[in-house]
Chains A and B, each alone.
Chain A
């Protein structure tokens, strides 16, 4: 499915990155200017600096390297290691596969949103958590399942969510 957050006005905002960070990005571009195959290394280094590749940064890179935005966006969306939105220090995945859903996955998700302060496909304002809905993780016998940074929590009840998240600072 297409990423709804990518289309939202906030994700499009161009003021998300401050000037000193942009200056570092410009320095990266400057180093690669005129070199063959500059795009991917520029995107890599930029992601290291900014943390992700928001729209305004992609446009900046496209403009400076004189290539169409569609090409930059194509590369960013092709490789899974590029992110178009901030990812959060800890990645929470809530399974909404059939089994998890039946066993109350939606309530768990609700609790996760509340405890983390982040919406689905979004990051909490302190940058601590990012929340995603995952497809079936193949642990249906343990439903509902929650994962944080790859740690799997099984038979999660909504009440236990704050306690689980407290382990990740």
Chain B
């Protein structure tokens, strides 16, 4: 029998065998407090905020790691439980800086919520810890270890989910910290800037570098022409910040809000996603025809690019030379658009709104300015955009619906699904298959590459040719896929890797959520967007065609290479220190 029956707070509850008391209680509508446990990570058992009484057990047990068992009688709100829980919270808070008034996580802080929910009075215990210095070395991530409650969630995210291990527990007893090896700053580690740690940290101890002030500054500078591009995944999640149910598509409200905020033009990164597909598809076909190197691996996830450079530099010739859609858009804005709009590119401030923290790092790479101007000046995460809108008194629910500006606001359904794992693969295959077979794939939707299994593969026949493809998301899954490829166990023609588990919809800059269904809801926005579009293959995008006609020439042209492609680092530079100049001749990738 795979179900167990137990009694929680006098209610009989049934649960799957193997479920924890916490899961059983939540199923029964009893919300036990937690701090170190996160449903997406497992883990727990460290903070003891979730303690409860099991009749017959010697001690209180941690509900998040104790399996529910047949016949168990559990009390979650008895006097001993309440007292124990409060003591635990008091001890945590006693060593915590009480900066809630000015803390970036104030509104979303799990500790602050617990403190107010359980009426904690911290004066019983003396302050136990000296403040530790902040670490602002990374262009993406800020560590404030004084606020760390040692829950270990970031450590799990970084080492288990992302296979990076940039941070870990160090020292012992009262001096325990979570920090990079040797007490270094984050910028000198192999951190890939994915921001997954910021998503799971319950408090303000690991947060995203805040660029909102810089963008407000630019917006209030009359001499600047401030333009913004928005990634697909943002429209699938921004609504959550304004109380809309997860899975609400807020594309047009978002554009309206950005105009109200004062941007001079609002562009869609889906346009440059289409452009990426045209360039990357061209690259794939060239490699298929000229014998490789294969597999071609996608390059649109800068967290993955950092991972490749830090851990698998020998794969760099396999990675597409395409810049990410964000950088392509940036380069097009400061050349083609500047020219069309009659604006001096030096006067343009190019902002992007991304679900991604690694894009902050990417935008700062020294080589990302082949037009002579920075492709992208500032990157905001979805969460930062929400903060700006709220500061400006703009409620997404009550703004005028507006559409993107032309021509860089036009996109196909293929550009839209870029924001979810498997989407780049699907978008690329639609166009590549069309180019090879001169007709669209049957049923444009490629089910085998959809979904959230960590590794997915598919084989399809196009114009008499077999194409084997694979998709991985989350860097631990990527690591496993690369192992199979490097060991020769598997051979593919084309591989998509996204650093974040779920793809951009669950990127490090997206709204916080512990809802295990969240990725499905957000993905459904993008898949619905794709279905609703008249054009669903990137190469059909009329604005992209026009861009080639008027400016770039043909895919893979010299201009395209100069503006839209890049080269990767030899060796393993730590992420905070991008290689100064990337010598194209040395890498031998200037085609």
Contacts and interface: CB of A to CB of B under 8 A. Distances in A.
Interface stretch (A44-52, A69-77, A93-101, A141-149): A69-77
Given A58-B181, A68-B181, A71-B159, A77 B170 contact: yes
A68 B182 contact: no
Interface in B139-196: 159, 164-172, 175, 179-183, 189-190
Interface string B106-130: 0000000000000000000000001
Contacts of B172: 77-80
The B interface, classified by DSSP as helix, strand, loop or mixed, is: mixed
Contacts of A69: 165, 181-182, 189
A62 B166 CA distance: 12
Interface residues on A, range: 20 to 34
A55 B130 contact: no
5 contacts: A1-B130, A2-B171, A68-B181, A70-B179, A70-B180
A78 B181 CA distance: 13
Contacts of A12: 182
B311 to A, nearest CB: 10
A6 interface: yes
A67 interface: yes
A2 B183 CA distance: 9
Nearest to A2: B183
B170 A68 contact: no
Contact of A71 (B165, B171, B190): B165
Interface string A5-46: 011000010000000000000000000000000000000000
Given A68-B165, A74-B168, A78-B171, A6 B181 contact: no
B185 to A, nearest CB: 10
B135 to A, nearest CB: 12
A2 B130 CA distance: 10
A73 B181 contact: yes
Interface residues on B, range: 20 to 34
Contacts, number: 58
A70 B168 contact: yes
B306 to A, nearest CB: 15
A82 B266 CA distance: 57
B196 to A, nearest CB: 15
A145 B520 CA distance: 66
Nearest to A72: B181
A61 B416 CA distance: 45
Contacts of A7: 182-183
B318 to A, nearest CB: 21
Given A73-B170, A74-B169, A68 B164 contact: yes
A42 to B, nearest CB: 16
A1 B175 CA distance: 7
Interface string A51-67: 00001001100100001
B56 to A, nearest CB: 34
Nearest to A67: B165
Given A77-B170, A77-B172, A78-B172, A70 B165 contact: yes
A55 B166 CA distance: 15
A139 to B, nearest CB: 24
B224 to A, nearest CB: 41
A12 B184 CA distance: 10
Contact of B166 (A1, A59, A70): A70
B483 to A, nearest CB: 11
A70 B181 contact: yes
A78 B170 contact: yes
Contacts of B159: 68, 70-71
Interface string B96-107: 000000000000
Interface in A76-95: 77-80
B18 to A, nearest CB: 25
Given A55-B182, A72-B181, A77 B166 contact: no
Contacts of B182: 6-7, 12, 55, 58, 69, 73
Contacts of A78: 169-172
B170 A74 contact: yes
Most buried by A among B165, B179, B182: B182
Most buried by B among A67, A68, A78, A80: A68
Top 7 A-B residue pairs of the complex, sorted by shortest distance between their CB atoms: A68-B165, A70-B168, A69-B181, A73-B181, A70-B181, A74-B168, A77-B170
B130 A71 contact: no
A70 to B, nearest CB: 3
B138 to A, nearest CB: 15
A136 B287 CA distance: 71
A7 B132 CA distance: 14
B308 to A, nearest CB: 17
Given A1-B130, A68-B164, A68-B166, A77 B180 contact: no
A71 to B, nearest CB: 5
Given A70-B179, A71-B168, 12 more contacts: A55-B182, A68-B159, A68-B164, A68-B190, A69-B182, A70-B159, A70-B166, A70-B180, A73-B170, A78-B169, A78-B171, A78-B172
